[in-house]
A and B are shown apart, each in its own frame.
Chain A
Amino acid sequence: MSAIQPPEQRIWWKQPIEPLEITWIVVAFIWCLFMFLMMPYWHVFGKQNLANEAYRSTPELFLSKAQAMVDKHKIREETDQKIPVVKPPAGSDVYLVARLWQWWPMLELEAGQTYRLHLMSLDWLHGFSLQPENINIQVHPGYEHILQVSPTRAGTYSIICNEYCGINHHTMVSKLYVVTSK
């Protein structure tokens, strides 16, 4: 019987399966298992993983932490909006605020060092997209997300917003500087 009619045999469960199908199912299943195991494998042996570190927070609290960092480590200001550029010490906690329609402040990091980057939005959802590295992280309001990042190469990077956040979404872009460590 064809697929648009009921099966010919009342008990079709016991019909033998063709070797062709069996072979394919076995091959495909092995591949599926391999792909599954690849994810835990990368957690152990790979270098690009997200930590499960996150906290529930409030805009005021997060902004005050970011402000404290800016007060301590500001090195200059950029653009007409006087966005502070901050150079926090290697290994320290670094705060990046996402809000309509700005990333604040700008960061200057050292290549080869590791930082604890805290991401949070003060209003709507935003998307942290580091270019041209192409690292993309969802940024939530109310949740402080912590990643350990280790910039590898010096240069000027861009952070663009890749989660739609309203009419000026496409203007939400910033710089991230990576300098060679002395």
Chain B
Amino acid sequence: MADTRNTTPADDLEDLEDGIPFMQQLLDNPFLLLFLGVVVPTVLYVIWGVMEIVGIPIAK
């Protein structure tokens, strides 16, 4: 696996973080993704589903 990347000093690492687009920052943040990945199905599937089950009327 040959690579041809140039190496520049590591000290400008921090500066570069500034210019990173929002979406890339989101995708680079596993904990934010974890939060979203748990909240979305919990709301759409679990909570909504449980509310519907609880709301089923009683037979006469």
Q: Which residues of A come within 8 Å of B, CB atoms?
A: 1-2, 5, 8, 10-14, 54-57, 61-62, 143-144
Indicate if the CB atoms of A144 and B59 lie closer than 8 Å. Answer: yes
Q: List 13 A-B contacts (CB under 8 A).
A: A1-B3, A2-B1, A5-B1, A10-B16, A11-B21, A13-B23, A13-B24, A14-B21, A54-B56, A55-B58, A56-B57, A56-B59, A62-B59
For the complex, count residues of B whose C-beta is within 8 A of A.
14
A55 touches B56 (CB 8 A): yes
Asked if A57 and B23 make an inter-chain contact with CB atoms under 8 angstroms apart, the answer reads: no
Chain B neighbourhood of A55, CB < 8 A:
56-60
Q: Beyond A13-B21, A13-B23, A14-B21: 5 further Cβ-contacts under 8 Å? A: A8-B3, A11-B16, A55-B59, A56-B57, A61-B59
A47 to B59, CA, bound (A): 26
Residues of chain B in range 11-56 having any CB-CB distance to chain A below 8 Å: 16, 19-21, 23-24, 56
Cβ-closest 10 pairs across A and B: A55-B59, A57-B59, A13-B24, A13-B21, A56-B58, A56-B56, A144-B59, A10-B16, A55-B57, A54-B56
CB distance from A113 to the nearest CB of B (A): 24
- Classify the secondary structure of A's interface with B: loop
CA distance A5 to B5 in the complex (A): 12
- Do A11 and B56 touch (CB < 8 A)? no
Complex: chain B residue closest to A58, CB-CB: B59
| Pair B24/A11 contact, Cβ less than 8 Å | yes
Chain A residues near B23 (CB, 8 Å)?
13
Whether A12 lies near B59 (C-beta < 8 A) is no
Contacting residues, chain B, for A57 (C-beta < 8 A): 58-59
Query: What residues of A have a CB within 8 angstroms of the CB of B20 in the complex?
Result: 10-11, 13
> Min CB distance, A122 to chain B, in Å?
14
A5 to B16, CA, bound (A): 19
- Picked from B1, B19, B57, B58, the residue with its CB within 8 Å of the CB of A11 is B19
CA A1 to CA B16, docked complex, whole Å = 19
